[in-house]
Structure 1
Amino acid sequence: MVEFRRIQMLFLILELQFSAAITGQDSSFTVRDGDEVTLSCENVTTDQDKCNSTTWLFSGSGSTATVALIKFGQIGEKAKAKSDRLSVTANCSLVIKKVTVEDAGRYFCRQFKSGQQQGQDSQVYLSVVTMTEHKDTDKVMLSCSVSTYDACRHTVKLLYQGNNVDKDNKDLKTSQSTCSAAVSFLTSHDIYTSNYKFLKCKVTDLISGKVQLCNFSPQLSCEKPGVAETTTEPETTTSTTQEDCSALSYIMLVMRVAELLLITVITVLLFRARGNQRPPDDNIDLNSVRSRTAKCSGPAASQEQNDEDDGAVNYENFGEPSTSVRLH
């Protein structure tokens, strides 16, 4: 029982460490192109004068090179071209105005003291949603796509009046691919005549679980994560679908498999350790029983025990090794 409790504690510690390794100081944001976003710095230190100890680095999609956007609180030399879109807040968060597809990538907030880096970087992943329209005579094609840093971590679905765009709409042609979705229809369709009022793009971050509903209408932008699920689209506020949680389920499956393997290894080691120990001597238990019997039965039982003890001594004299063990 003691060993089992120790194993349980070990598993709990491992799971906490695994969760910390996944979450750590990383965060993610998904915004529509043209919007503004504020990337928070989770490792910011105190006693800074206008973020003079903070540096923001950027690595674009498919690139391993990093660019210093903000260096010790000031716009970096290589970021001068977009200096009008960059700024830092009082708590050293990075503000990006009029977000473009090129802004999608990984951002690092790094702290310095006396020229030396302090602690680990705070990482932020920024994904950008792009809505496009292509018109050809009497046909229109609308597409919604997400630009990310590396592998796609989103699902993209088109909704018409709160339902999947191809549900009960035979006159709509849809296409689906990784991190994008598209629909085409005639200009006589209600979608077009209503200025795309009822058509939305549902973008779900598989890691954070955040959901955004982006409007194709030029006058509207993406709704804030979580708000759309409880207000404007009640029919889509059910529990997260299996597809949306596939990545999280995979992570939990890996954790459980590792846990089972660890249980098996520790159990085998415990059994081997017990197998190397000498088994308890049966004579000890037998003598103990005899002793208790003697106390209850009186002189007759004591005499019988002495006779048997004499017999045990004779066996020992014949050369059999003694196996009796004294327990302290």
Structure 2
Amino acid sequence: MADKCDLCLLGLIILSSLLTDISGVDDHVFISSGENVRLSCNNALSDCKSKTTWNYNSFRHSAPVELITKGIKKKDTEKHERLSLESDCSLNIKNVTEEDYGLYTCQQWIDVNGTDQRQDPDARVSLHVLHVSVSPSSSSSSSSSSSSSQTEISPGRSVTLSCQLYSVDCDDLVSF
């Protein structure tokens, strides 16, 4: 059986082409749930560890959530254990979940006469998360275990793939 995500790829390609012209977003990243992702900060300075702030907006919250402030991870966020900041200022998220979709903003800070000032422009990355679930039909046999997402099928048997793309609404991006 082909990789289960291959069947949803066409939909992602179409969606990606529709989203490429949304104003204010530098990059769109599509990832399957359970994978690790790297979000690039395209305005990176040489001193990323102490000058980088990453914010997250899912539009489920009233305000953006600070994930990393000037190189230090915020411990009061749900994502704390799954985040890391790379030397090139990129944000790594381990084991992406459906809850991780949203708009991520990388801000760089520079010292101007002893005061930190934000370096423009911010890098904005829209993370879209694809979740694929497999449901064997009542007549097919399944050898799935709780730690595996594999379903075995044989000729004459069928499975149902359900694809859900968790994505920021275009109107939210424009009004952000």
Alignment partner, residue 128 of structure 1: 129
Alignment partner, residue 45 of structure 2: 45
2:81 pairs, out of 72, 84, 106, with 84
Unpaired runs of 5+ residues, structure 1, are: 1-20, 153-328
- AA paired with 2:31? V
- AA paired with 1:29? V
Other structure's SS at 1:134 match:
strand
Higher normalized helix content (fraction of residues): 1
C-alpha contact (below 8 Å) 1:42/1:122 kept by paired residues = yes
Alignment partner, residue 67 of structure 2: 69
Alignment partner, residue 137 of structure 1: 138
Higher normalized strand content (fraction of residues): 2
Deviations 1:33-89 (A, max 9, x none): 01111100011123x1x521110000015444211111111111432x432210011
Deviations 1:186-243 (A, max 9, x none): xxxxxxxxxxxxxxxxxxxxxxxxxxxxxxxxxxxxxxxxxxxxxxxxxxxxxxxxxx
C-alpha contact (below 8 Å) 1:128/1:146 kept by paired residues = yes
- AA paired with 2:93? I
Query: What root-mean-square deviation, in Å, do the aligned CA atoms of Structure 1 and Structure 2 show?
Result: 2.4
Question: Counterparts of 2:133 and 2:37 in 1: how far apart (Å)?
Answer: 21
Question: Counterparts of 2:59 and 2:24 in 1: how far apart (Å)?
Answer: 22
Question: Counterparts of 1:25 and 1:147 in 2: how far apart (Å)?
Answer: 17
Question: Counterparts of 1:87 and 1:75 in 2: how far apart (Å)?
Answer: 8
Q: Which has the larger radius of gyration?
A: 1
Other structure's SS at 2:31 match:
strand
- AA paired with 2:119? Q
Question: Counterparts of 1:85 and 1:29 in 2: how far apart (Å)?
Answer: 17
- The answer to whether 1:150 aligns with 2:173 is no
Alignment partner, residue 148 of structure 2: none
Deviations 1:75-122 (A, max 9, x none): 11432x432210011111000110000000000001112332221211
Alignment partner, residue 35 of structure 1: 35
C-alpha contact (below 8 Å) 2:34/2:96 kept by paired residues = yes
- AA paired with 1:35? E
- The answer to whether 1:109 aligns with 2:106 is yes
Alignment partner, residue 143 of structure 2: none
- AA paired with 2:100? D
Other structure's SS at 2:106 match:
strand
- AA paired with 1:133? V
Distance 1:102 1:22, change over 3 A: closer
TM-score (norm 1): 0.36
The 5 Å alignment of 1:157-236 reads: none
Alignment partner, residue 54 of structure 2: 56
Deviations 1:228-285 (A, max 9, x none): xxxxxxxxxxxxxxxxxxxxxxxxxxxxxxxxxxxxxxxxxxxxxxxxxxxxxxxxxx
Unpaired runs of 5+ residues, structure 2, are: 1-20, 141-158, 172-176
- AA paired with 2:27? S
C-alpha contact (below 8 Å) 1:53/1:112 kept by paired residues = yes
Question: Counterparts of 2:59 and 2:139 in 1: how far apart (Å)?
Answer: 36
Question: Counterparts of 1:127 and 1:101 in 2: how far apart (Å)?
Answer: 9
Question: Counterparts of 1:24 and 1:104 in 2: how far apart (Å)?
Answer: 17
